[in-house]
Every structure is written in structure tokens, then in C-alpha cells.
Amino acid sequence: MPFRDGTGPPWWQGKFRGCGYRLTIPREAILGVLSKTSKHLSAEDVYLAVHKAYPAIGLTTIYRTLDLLVQIGLVFKFDFGDGRARYELSEGPKGASHHHHLVCTGCGRVIDYTDFIDEEVELLNRTEKGLSKKFNFRITNHLIQFYGLCDRCRSKK
Amino acid sequence: MPFRDGTGPPWWQGKFRGCGYRLTIPREAILGVLSKTSKHLSAEDVYLAVHKAYPAIGLTTIYRTLDLLVQIGLVFKFDFGDGRARYELSEGPKGASHHHHLVCTGCGRVIDYTDFIDEEVELLNRTEKGLSKKFNFRITNHLIQFYGLCDRCRSKK
DNA sequence: ATATCTGCAAAGACTTTGCATGAGA
DNA sequence: TCTCATGCAAAGTCTTTGCAGATAT
């Protein structure tokens, strides 16, 4: 139920309350940061961004909250091979931003792509069904990443 | 060129020499361990296994060697979300063992599956071509994993 | 009112680095 | 021989934990 001014309420409140978790300043701040970027933020990135508006919020809380958000399914956690975890909102307000990643093993750059997503997702859904049945798994999520050298790194040598 | 007795020479020697790297006892031992298992070994797992036959080989060497093998492309490095990296030979002597992973987010169990692999790989190849062209990437590798709850964890609650 | 959440500091876990010794080609 | 590889110890990073005080409902 959006506000009259069109800014809308934080769309995640429902999901939060439904799980019996408290909606606190730090949690809202962290979700705010994540929802305003399309980058792949590390815990420290989130901390620094949150820190600007709420200097009192500590890194520990960032880690704990991110873990919680991952558990709830509001956030995805990625490993791009650089030794720190990256976090991304799993869906926008409109569930709009599904994408996969292209990771440069040279410089660590990560490119989001949405090309071929439809075919990929279709195949993934089929595969999910089959795997669920065969292994009696309840599949909740998938990960696809491609690795290689980006144009810059290729020309470097 | 296999030995007459059929045991064959370590099939990776060629790849090794070709890259100008030395073929040492620790490196052979580590490849030996990896080639004799179908499990997803952590650096410490490899260390312990190697340690039985060669107690002098240290954990540092394991890490350095695994890194090297990943660079050469002989080994894949995975992250299953439990905080430690896992390593797997990228191909058997016959290039036989391509598979993807099903990861239980409850207990961390990892199941290898080869079902649907053909369709998946076919789609991935197509996608790779498209992405390579669009982003001018040289794609060398891909990662697919499914996440969910295994049968045991589902019945736990 | 009270079970949850937070912040700080310290601990923990995995991985990397420095440097002198040892070993492959 | 001479560069590359190894082992040990120490350091480095990211992440988690313990606990007292603060907070949402």
C-alpha cells in the first residue's frame, strides 16, 4: 500500500514483519543502500555507504544484517574470487533486475548481463524440476557465472 | 604415450612442461590426490591426504600449488559458501567428468549431477559465443550451481 | 516489559607473504 | 649452475563471537 506521495513504503517491510524480525534503523539503512545501487557491494562497501548517514552503525551489524537478509531471501551473496563476499538485492520493487555475471579473471571486473537470460532461465527451471525430483531437493536458487578475460586485460598481453 | 603396462604416465606432464613449470614431488603428489578422488577437497583436505605419503610437504605449498593448477586450468576452484575454497580436477585423463553442483544450504552437502548437462552445456556454449562477441571477452570457463535444501534438511523441519 | 538487536573489542579461520634453504632442468 | 620451488613462521584479511547496553513491539 504505497504512500500518497508516490514515494511508497519500503517494499520489504512486509517480508520482514512476516518473518518476525524487527525493523530497525540499521536494517533499513542497509536495505536502503542496497536498493540504491546496481553494484556488487562488499560488506565493507555497504558499511562505508551506511556510515555516511549513520556513523554509529558498526561493521558487525552490517555482517549480521547481510546474513539475515540472505537467509530471508532478500539478498544474494556472491563470490567473485577476490576473497570477499559481494551482496546484491535479489529483486527490485518490481522484481525487475534478474541478471547473471561475467567475471574477468584478470582484473576482477564483473559485468552484469541480461542477454540470453530468458533462455537460461527457462532451461534452469526445467533443470530445477528434474533435479528436485531426482534428488528430493527443494531448490531455491541458482548461480550462473562466466569467467574469462575482459577486453582490457586481453590487450594488456 | 602411455606406458606399456597400461598405467600410463601422469597425463598432466605435457601440460606442465609446456608452461615452463617444474614437475616436482609436491606437485605430482597433489595432482595424485586430486586425480584419485571425486570429492570436493579443501586445501586442508589435500594437505592431509598428501601428508600421509609426504609428511614434509607443507600447507603453504598446497596453497601455492593449487593456485598454480587453477591458473594452468588443470583445476577448478569452487566456493560452496562454507568459508573455504574447494578444488577439483577440471578434467580426468579422458576429459570424462564434467558435472555441475547442487548445494544444500542447510548442511552444506554438495551433490554432483550430470543430468541435463548436455542441454546445459549446449546453451552455455551458445551464450558464451554471444557474450564473447558483445563484451569482447575471452571466456574460458563457467560455473553453474543450484542451491536448496536436501532431503535430510527438509525433513528436519 | 522483554526478547531482540547493536556496538565494541577480541577472537577465529582461511590464505598469503618474506626469506633462507633446497631441488629440478 | 642457476633459476625456480619449498617450508617455516609470521602477517594479513575477511568474518564471527562474547557480552553489556540499547531498542522495537
CATH number at residue A123: 3.30.1490.190
Check whether residue B1 and residue B78 sit in a common domain.
Answer: yes
DSSP B55: T
Q: What is the pLDDT of residue B157?
A: 55
As a rounded value in angstroms, the CA-to-C1' distance for A53 and D12 is: 30
The closest alpha carbon to B72, from B61, B80, B60, B64, belongs to B64
What value does the mean pLDDT of chain A take?
Answer: 88
Dump pLDDT digits (tens) for B33-79: 999 998 999 999 999 999 999 999 999 999 999 999 999 999 999 99
Domain that holds residue B106: 98-157
Check whether residue B121 and residue B56 sit in a common domain.
Answer: no
**Helix ranges (DSSP H) in A9-157:** 13-18, 25-35, 43-53, 59-72, 117-135, 151-155
The CATH number assigned to the domain holding A61 equals 1.10.10.10
**Distance between CA atoms of A142 and B81, rounded to whole angstroms?**
13
Check whether residue B41 and residue B67 sit in a common domain.
Answer: yes
Dump pLDDT digits (tens) for A50-67: 999 999 999 999 999 999
| Residue ranges in chain B modelled with pLDDT below 50 | 1-8
Q: What is the pLDDT of residue A157?
A: 56
Check whether residue A12 and residue A86 sit in a common domain.
Answer: yes
Closest nucleotide to B65: CA versus each C1': D5
Check whether residue A83 and residue A108 sit in a common domain.
Answer: no
Which of B74, B90, B106 marks a domain boundary? B90
Which of B90, B108, B130 marks a domain boundary? B90
* Residue A110: count of CB within 10 angstroms of its CB: 18
Are A137 and B148 in contact (CB < 8 Å)?
yes
Give percent of chain A with pLDDT exceeding 90.
Answer: 69
Q: Nearest C-alpha of chain B: how many angstroms from A10?
A: 28
Q: What is the pLDDT of residue A12?
A: 80
Edge to edge, the sheet with strand A41-42 lists: A41-42, A85-89, A75-79
Q: Where are the beta strands (DSSP E) in chain B?
A: 41-42, 75-79, 85-89, 100-104, 110-113, 138-149
Q: What is the pLDDT of residue A94?
A: 53
Check whether residue A5 and residue A62 sit in a common domain.
Answer: yes
Check whether residue A52 and residue A105 sit in a common domain.
Answer: no
Check whether residue A116 and residue A77 sit in a common domain.
Answer: no
Q: Average pLDDT for residues A104-127, to the nearest whole number?
A: 90
Q: Nearest C-alpha of chain B: how many angstroms from A30?
A: 22
Joined grid coordinates for residue A118: 530468458
The closest alpha carbon to A99, from A86, A116, A85, belongs to A116
Number of domains in chain A: 2
Check whether residue A85 and residue A109 sit in a common domain.
Answer: no
Residue of chain A whose alpha carbon sits nearest to that of B120? A123
The torsion region of residue A127 among left (phi > 0), alpha (psi -120 to 50) and beta comes to alpha
Q: What is the pTM of this model?
A: 0.90
Check whether residue A142 and residue A81 sit in a common domain.
Answer: no
Pairing of strands A100-104, A138-149: parallel
CB pairs under 8 A between A and B: 127
Check whether residue A81 and residue A108 sit in a common domain.
Answer: no
Contacts of B136 in chain A (CB under 8 A): 150-151, 154
The closest alpha carbon to B123, from A105, A101, A122, belongs to A122
Joined grid coordinates for residue A143: 548461480
Check whether residue B86 and residue B102 sit in a common domain.
Answer: no
Which of B40, B73, B90 marks a domain boundary? B90
Are B105 and A140 in contact (CB < 8 Å)?
yes
